[in-house]
Amino acid sequence: MMNKDGFAQWISDLALRMEKGLPGQGAHEKMAPMHRKSLSESELFNTGYRTAAVLALLVPDPINSIPRIVLIERSEGPVSHSGQISFPGGKREGDEDLLVTALREANEELGIQANQVSLLGGLTSLYIPPSNFLVHPFLGYMNEIPEFILSEAEVKRVLLLPVSSFLDQGNVSIEVFKSSNGSTVEAPTYRIDDVTIWGATAMMMAEISSLIRGEI
């Protein structure tokens, strides 16, 4: 069991690990779909990609203060990635700062106030071929779980999953999915209770897990 001071120390240790560097693409590849091809910077430039940002938010469990991470199940509909598990976030507007994008989207989707979030730093950006987005993740934390105000058009439910669940290899399996274009995709998957996490979110979560383990 961890108390509030324990959560603060856990965050402090994580911040020190981030200062040493990021695990990067090596961590992403651990949870990458089997067909996925890494792109060089020059190849990525030629895709004419769009830009987005997401917020990976750490909070303490209200009972035992163990670290949890905030994920969302997106509402079903015609929008990209509907029904999937993801971090709060979305498309950059104009030339706004990418951190501003992540915090704005977290506010629009979950009612999280930007001034309540303490930033640990940016994570490694990740290109998502089906939607042609280059996504910039940011890792932050709050010292207590906020009161979520869901955008029903975008968010079906909020998930507060123990970070320890992502460190347990017993929760990782290889599964087959249908991609947005209808093709079959084989991918490493986190299965935690009734939640299935794969694709870009799993790849970003793999980098966070590597940071927690102290892997660079």
Mean pLDDT score, 104-122: 98
Mean pLDDT score, 13-32: 95
pLDDT at 167: 97
Question: Alpha-carbon distance 99 to 69, whole Å?
Answer: 18
Q: pLDDT of 200-211, one tens digit each?
A: 999 999 999 999
Phi first, then psi, for residue 13 (nearest 5°) are: -65, -40
DSSP assigned state of 205 = H
Mean pLDDT of the chain: 91
Name the pLDDT band for 131 (thresholds 50, 70, 90). confident
Q: At what angle do helices 200-213 and 4-19 cross, to 10 degrees?
A: 100
Q: pLDDT of 174-201, one tens digit each?
A: 999 877 667 788 999 999 999 999 999 9
Q: List the one residue out of 14, 127, 1, 136 whose CA is nearest residue 66.
A: 1
Torsion of CA 201, 175, 25, 160, to 10 degrees: 30
pLDDT at 126: 94
The runs of H, that is alpha helices, within the chain are: 4-19, 25-30, 41-45, 98-110, 164-167, 200-213
Mean pLDDT score, 66-91: 84
pLDDT at 43: 60
Mean pLDDT score, 128-150: 94
Q: Which has the minimum average pLDDT: 6-10, 132-136, 178-182? A: 178-182
Domains identified in the chain and CATH numbers: 4-165+199-213 (3.90.79.10)
Question: Alpha-carbon distance 179 to 203, whole Å?
Answer: 16
Name the pLDDT band for 143 (thresholds 50, 70, 90). very high
pTM of the model: 0.92
Residue 77, pLDDT above cutoff 80: no
Question: Alpha-carbon distance 70 to 57, whole Å?
Answer: 5
- Percentage of the chain surpassing pLDDT 90? 77
